[in-house]
Amino acid sequence: MKYLKPIIVIIIFILIFIFLNKLLSPKYMTDLVEGNMTYEYYDEEKNHEVIFIGDCEVYANFSPMVLYEEEGITSYVRGNSQQLIWQSYYILKETLKYETPKVVVFNVNSMRYSKPVSEAYNRLAIDKMKWSKEKIDIIKASMTKEEDFLSYVIPLLRYHSRFDKLTNEDFEYLFKNKNSMHNGFLINKNIKPVESLPTKRRLSSYEFEQNCYDYLNKITKLCKENSIKLVLIKAPSVYPYWYDEYEEQIQKYAKENNLDYYNFKENVEEIGIDYSTDTYDGGLHLNLDGATKLSKYFSKILKENYELTDYRENEEISKIYNEKLETYKEAIK
């Protein structure tokens, strides 16, 4: 009994500490909703036959609800803003702990980045990831020079200065967030046609770094070990960031590893994308209309080539998906 009071005081402070960690961490509900992408997956029924991994070019351009509506495909986009290739690998590894899809679709755009880029993007991808070995590995692989591991363990160390920026949102979503995505797809209905494009930059080297190849090999190996068909894609974009040299290297890699590769930049007309109406940022990403067109197009490819189940005929799953579809249709109105 001698230590009862000190123990009670310690417990009180631990609770206050936990509360402050929760309170001061960003909730990503109205601003930067991309910060919730990793987290929203955990609430899902894990019944996906297709998993997308990659950067904004997947979560902005591919709508799982369209894939379901068109071909009955169950899918989820585990994308993040500027998801780097090692992040894609660890996110996939984590996903495989919950479920084993038939197909993993990887957007190769991240082959361009061999080093950690920005703390802000790291945070959006990693902060809300559940603790696991994958999370430890993803943090270690992603940290920029100025970051430290401890601030991922104790978010208060990173977000303490938000004490003067707290809003009602921080209290409302203190313990539970509201889903903003639709199976990982982020709806953007805005239209900003292509007007001018940045000039094509000359690079000192067009070779992908070995580090990127290492992770691509790891993704390939992981899929093979789990009997998953890995499909490489390059999402459409009119920005001149995907060089011919890149394209050649990916084609070569796909051929050598017996992988399918689709570069949708080449099929823009066939897909029906109109860059005066189907982009929300002047041609870098597709908006809702563009994503719907691309998803419809890709759903046919997936259905025809990868022996996917039509879950519209499955009572249990169709019930879940029809509800999701209803919510989705409400959101895109």
Contacts of 254 (CB under 8 A, 6+ apart): 232, 260, 261
Q: CA angle 305-219-35, nearest 5°?
A: 100
Query: What distance in Å separates the CA atoms of residue 65 and residue 76, rounded to the nearest whole number?
Result: 9
Say which residues have a Cβ less than 8 Å from residue 160's Cβ, sequence separation at least 6.
24
Least CB distance to another protein at residue 4 (A): 9
Task: Name the residue among 130, 43, 32, 39 with its Cα closest to residue 81.
Answer: 32
Provide the angle, in degrees to the nearest 10, between the axes of the packed helices 315-332 and 64-71: 130
The region of 15-23, 41-49, 53-61, 284-292 touching another protein under the rule CB under 8 A is 15-23
- Contact flag: residue 29 with another protein (CB under 8 A): no
- Determine, following the binding rule CB under 8 A, whether residue 158 of this chain makes contact with another protein: yes
**Should residue 171 be labelled a site residue for another protein when binding is judged by CB under 8 A?**
no
Among 32, 143, 156, 222, binds another protein (CB under 8 A): 156
Interface region with another protein, contact rule CB under 8 A, candidates 32-40, 158-166, 186-194, 201-209: 158-166
How far apart are the C-alpha atoms of 192 and 197, rounded to whole Å?
13
Q: Which stretch binds another protein (CB under 8 A): 107-115, 146-154, 262-270, 276-284?
A: 146-154
CB-neighbour burial class of residue 180 (10 A; exposed 0-12, middle 13-18, buried 19+)? middle
170 binds another protein (CB under 8 A): no
Query: Does residue number 151 form part of the binding site for another protein (CB under 8 A)?
Result: yes
Query: The tokens of 137 are what?
Result: 């590995």
Q: Are 120 and 68 in contact (CB under 8 A)?
A: no
User: What is the H or E stretch that residue 198 is in?
Assistant: none
Among the residue ranges 16-24, 216-224, 283-291, 311-319, the one whose residues contact another protein (CB under 8 A)? 16-24
241 near another protein (CB under 8 A): no
Answer for which of 44, 119, 137, 274 binds another protein (CB under 8 A) is: 119
- Under DSSP, the state recorded for 29 is S
17 near another protein, judged by CB under 8 A: yes
Check binding of 163 to another protein (CB under 8 A): yes
How many residues sit close enough to another protein to count as binding (CB under 8 A)?
Answer: 23
Q: Does 8 bind another protein (CB under 8 A)?
A: yes
Q: Which residues bind another protein (CB under 8 A)?
A: 3, 5-6, 8-10, 12-13, 16-17, 20, 24, 119, 146-147, 151, 156-158, 160-161, 163-164
